């Protein structure tokens, strides 16, 4: 239908006004939702009790959240639950052809959807099984998928050496591919939510930045994601504040040897190997992995949580993220006093936070009575409101964030990857 000039002018005016109105509405909903999450009781002395109802009749015991990235993520371990029968193994490819494996849970009919992003864990998506099951139990279609070259891919012969990890650059493209794969499934209703833990939190932010035109995702939520991967690695340097060639990274190297096939490389060797495969160098790889900067490209609501007693991601990284969200009405970062890393001490609170967030931030979830906000584990009572247990992120600014960015970990004379990447 062709519009007359007056009608066309009115359409243009309405078209220009609509985004501003939508932004105001989104900001109001975002802040109301965040306030509701902060008001929820958080018990840092959480005691797992009884079974996790997300697994139905299987009688899966609730466990301490820290087990999600230790024994609870190792298939066959006594505290590692099996995937519920309503999940199905799937395989798909990333944008560059890298094979990816995962588990997909689809409801009959239509449902809103969430992609769950694992962290730097040997067994990849097995470490987020409880979170995927919990979301499915509350009415969501769910995909928990590996990023490239984790244990399942390597064991299947579709990981190293043909496809290799990059600590976030290529992996964020894999997360975007997971969103596209989920979006293509029959019955998936609307754009997906995205929730990530640890390195998966970083890659959540990076993937949302790649999807800046909002073709795939409608909202993001992340826990303990590094604000800059190079700075994260440098925070483990021995001696602290070192310059090449004196730098060593024993704790990071130990993690890399545990997680990155073929399980015999240190961090700089792994970077060099991946860089050779992908036709670049380690400095350039890390320059693509500054989540603090990338969040300026994120056009959907983004909520980040950190812990001040985190033994893996230094608490200053919360300030780095906060520094680059200043002025954005649909982004917020909070740091709790006690929570450790990614899977915070209170599993009930973390489930409740995720469920409240996506119920409000995904339009299809808002209007779907089948989508609920009930944690699948029992609550440990006596906790104060989460918002009353926060560390103030004072002094956060873009300049302060950039001042914290570290030199290139494998050769400090080369400069700062985070600044080179913008």
Tens of pLDDT along the chain (422 residues)? 233 334 333 333 333 443 444 578 889 999 999 999 999 999 999 999 999 999 999 999 999 999 998 999 999 999 999 999 999 999 999 999 999 999 999 999 999 999 999 999 999 999 999 999 999 999 999 999 999 999 999 999 999 999 999 999 999 999 999 999 999 999 999 999 999 999 999 999 999 999 999 999 999 999 999 999 999 999 999 999 999 999 999 999 999 999 999 999 999 999 999 999 999 999 999 999 999 999 999 999 999 999 999 999 999 999 999 999 999 999 999 999 999 999 999 999 999 999 999 999 999 999 999 999 999 999 999 999 999 999 999 999 999 999 999 999 999 999 999 999 86
Q: Hey, CA dihedral for 57, 136, 176, 185, is it positive or negative?
A: positive
| Cα–Cα dist 391/408, whole Å | 29
Question: Which domains are delineated in the chain?
Answer: 26-237+290-396 (3.40.50.1820)
| Cα–Cα dist 70/239, whole Å | 28
* Six-digit token string for 283: 């400095």
| Cα–Cα dist 372/354, whole Å | 11
Burial (CB < 10 A; 0-12, 13-18, 19+), residue 422, is exposed
> How far is residue 142 from each of residues 68, 185, 276, 321, measured CA to CA in Å?
18, 11, 35, 27
Largest CA distance in the chain: 72
| Cα–Cα dist 198/133, whole Å | 19
pLDDT at 421: 84
pLDDT at 23: 75
pLDDT at 422: 67
> How far is residue 367 from each of residues 28, 218, 301, 362, 372, measured CA to CA in Å?
18, 15, 18, 9, 11
pLDDT at 6: 40
């Amino acid at each position: 239908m062709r519009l007359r000039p007056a009608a066309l002018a009115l359409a243009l005016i309405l078209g220009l006004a609509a985004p501003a109105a939508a932004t105001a509405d989104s900001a109001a909903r975002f802040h109301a939702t965040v306030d509701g999450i902060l008001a929820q009781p958080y018990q840092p002395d959480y005691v797992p009790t009884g079974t996790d109802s997300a697994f139905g009749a299987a009688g899966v015991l609730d466990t301490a959240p820290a087990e999600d990235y230790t024994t609870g993520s190792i298939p066959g371990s006594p505290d590692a639950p099996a995937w519920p029968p309503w999940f199905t193994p799937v395989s798909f490819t990333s944008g560059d052809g890298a094979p990816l494996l995962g588990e997909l849970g689809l409801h009959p009919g239509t449902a809103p959807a969430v992609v769950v992003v694992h962290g730097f864990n040997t067994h990849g998506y097995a470490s987020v099984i409880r979170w995927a099951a919990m979301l499915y139990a509350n009415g969501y279609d769910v995909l928990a998928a590996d990023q490239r070259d984790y244990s399942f891919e390597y064991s299947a012969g579709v990981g190293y050496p043909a496809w290799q990890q990059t600590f976030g650059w290529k992996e964020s493209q894999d997360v975007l591919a997971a969103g596209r794969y989920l979006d293509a499934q029959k019955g998936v209703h609307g754009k997906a939510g995205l929730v990530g833990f640890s390195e998966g939190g970083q890659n959540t932010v990076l993937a949302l930045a790649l999807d800046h035109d909002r073709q795939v995702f409608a909202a993001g939520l992340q826990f303990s994601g590094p604000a800059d991967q190079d700075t994260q690695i440098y925070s483990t340097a021995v001696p602290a504040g070192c310059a090449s060639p004196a730098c060593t990274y024993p704790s990071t190297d130990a993690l890399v040897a545990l997680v990155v096939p073929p399980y015999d490389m240190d961090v700089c060797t792994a970077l060099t190997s991946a860089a050779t495969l992908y036709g670049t160098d380690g400095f350039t790889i890390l320059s693509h992995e500054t989540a603090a900067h990338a969040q300026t490209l994120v056009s959907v609501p983004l909520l980040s949580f950190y812990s001040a007693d985190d033994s893996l991601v230094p608490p200053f990284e919360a300030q780095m993220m906060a520094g680059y969200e200043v002025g954005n009405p649909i982004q917020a970062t909070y740091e709790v006093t006690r929570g450790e890393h990614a899977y915070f001490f209170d599993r009930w609170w973390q489930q409740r936070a995720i469920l409240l967030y996506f119920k409000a931030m995904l339009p299809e979830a808002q209007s779907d009575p089948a989508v609920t906000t009930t944690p699948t584990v029992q609550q440990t009572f006596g906790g104060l409101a989460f918002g009353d247990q926060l560390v103030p992120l004072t002094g956060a600014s873009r300049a302060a964030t950039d001042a914290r960015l570290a030199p290139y970990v494998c050769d400090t004379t080369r400069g700062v990857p985070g600044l080179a990447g913008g």
